[in-house]
Amino acid sequence: MILRTILAGLLLSACTLSLSALDSRETKKPDGKKEKPGKAPEHTCALNITWWEEPVLKEGETLELGIFVDKEFQAISIQAMTIGKPFDYTGGPDVVIARKAKVTTKDKKGNPVTKDDWVPFANFVIKETDTDVLALLMPAHNSPTAVVKTFDIGVAAFPYGTIHLLNYSKSKIGCNIDGAVFFAAPGQRGQLPKLITSRRVVNFRLAAFEADGSLRSLVSSPMILDQRSRRLYFVAENPGASEDARFRINALVDHIEDHTPPKPPEDEVKPTKNAEPKEAKKAAEKPAAK
């Protein structure tokens, strides 16, 4: 229940799609005359769809999802926090996901007829420039729908050998990896300043800067990094929860077997004592809030 409240508060967009929204709108010619509705321009991209956390289903309940492609819905299987084999999407910019449900209509004689059909579940938009997209599905609170957040996961924007941090909390979040420090302001995305180009064990720390100036430790543990993996961390917050449950951290790790480090190679992520932000030094000297 807490998680669903978090998700509803993080993303303000509501899932109010309808299948009729797949139709194109009328446009006007330069002379002012209306054109007949035409087919929206198609776009092809590699599309990954994943759950923030798999929805909790009632006993005996199932959730079958499909994506609208080539004028029909194709069934899809989704796992939590996973970048798997991408789905080759070709279609308009408005991507529609539906769920299969029992729908009751009336026949010509007015008698009720119940059958399986696709009903709205989630929708999102891809840009013409998108080639590799990750769509993160978050179950909506008290609604059989989901809200969606999309990310560019092309290797140019999200290379292997790096760590990105998406901050959905109201606090500034800092990440420290053996002295290499970076930050993500509320609602922003931060990233490790240098690529990991060799396998090594590092000390990984996440901390939140509280309103009173104190530093709250969120994660502190050793971690194995290498040039063949990329990591995306999500930090969410539920201000109404207990202190122990206030921050929620999810991680998505993508691994590739055959990957050549960028040239010229860097031996490792080294501590940047001279270049370390003064704010990070001050934060490190303060004890974590109890």
Which residues are paired to 113 by β-bridges?
Answer: 105
Q: Which tokens in the block code for residue 182?
A: 């970076």
What digits encode the pLDDT tens for the residues 164-186? 999 999 999 999 998 899 999 99
Least confident of 40-49, 87-96, 268-277: 268-277
Cis peptide before 264 (omega within 30 of 0): yes
Between 2 and 190, whose confidence is greater?
Answer: 190
Strands lying side by side in the sheet with 189-191: 189-191, 163-167, 229-237, 247-255
> What percent of the chain shows pLDDT beyond 90?
41
- Cβ atoms within 10 Å of 28's Cβ, excluding its own: 9
Q: What is the pLDDT of residue 201?
A: 95
Exposed, middle or buried, 51 (CB in 10 Å: 0-12/13-18/19+)?
Answer: middle
Q: What is the pLDDT of residue 39?
A: 57
Q: What is the pLDDT confidence band of residue 83, given thresholds at 50, 70 and 90?
A: confident
Q: What is the pLDDT of residue 69?
A: 83
Q: What is the pLDDT confidence band of residue 260, given thresholds at 50, 70 and 90?
A: low
Going from N- to C-terminal start, the domains of the chain cover 2-16+39-152, 163-285
Between 263 and 234, whose confidence is greater?
Answer: 234
Between 38 and 89, whose confidence is greater?
Answer: 89
What digits encode the pLDDT tens for the residues 21-71? 444 444 444 455 554 555 556 888 999 999 988 888 888 888 899 998 878
| CA within 13 Å, CB half, 125 | 6
pTM greater than 0.85 (yes/no):
no
**Pairwise CA distance, residues 104 & 126, whole Å:** 33
Least confident of 42-51, 91-100, 127-136, 279-288: 279-288
Q: What is the pLDDT of residue 72?
A: 84
**Pairwise CA distance, residues 204 & 251, whole Å:** 13
What's the CATH class of domain 163-285? mainly beta
CB 259 within 8 A of CB 160: yes
Find the DSSP H helices in the chain.
2-10, 278-285
Name the 3-class secondary structure at 2.
helix
